[in-house]
């Protein structure tokens, strides 16, 4: 079965986090990328945790599967 490398959505403050946790449980191999309302930052969620990044890093975040191993993580 094929899975996307990432799913991009508009972040609605912290209301999105419980919904994303459910998606990650169902699809742990997919990154979920929440773009913040100001359009400058994004939160990258994965099975190993989440981290903030600049929107300019979007392509890098999607393409580099090993990136999350090098960043500090916060549990969901």
| pLDDT mean by block of 10 residues, the chain; 76 residues | 84 79 90 90 91 90 60 48
User: Beta strand 31-35 with 6-10: parallel, antiparallel or unpaired?
Assistant: parallel
Predicted local confidence at residue 71, as pLDDT? 46
Under DSSP, the state recorded for 31 is E
Predicted local confidence at residue 33, as pLDDT? 93
User: Beta strand 49-54 with 6-10: parallel, antiparallel or unpaired?
Assistant: unpaired
- Contact, 23 vs 29, CB < 8 A? no
Tokens of residue 26, six digits: 């169902």
């Amino acid at each position: 079965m094929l899975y996307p490398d990432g799913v991009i959505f508009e972040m609605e403050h912290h209301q999105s986090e419980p919904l994303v946790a459910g998606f990650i449980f169902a699809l742990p191999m997919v990154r979920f990328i929440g773009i913040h309302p100001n359009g400058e930052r994004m939160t990258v969620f994965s099975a190993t945790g989440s981290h903030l990044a600049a929107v300019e890093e979007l392509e890098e975040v999607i393409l580099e599967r090993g990136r999350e191993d090098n960043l500090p993580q916060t549990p969901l």
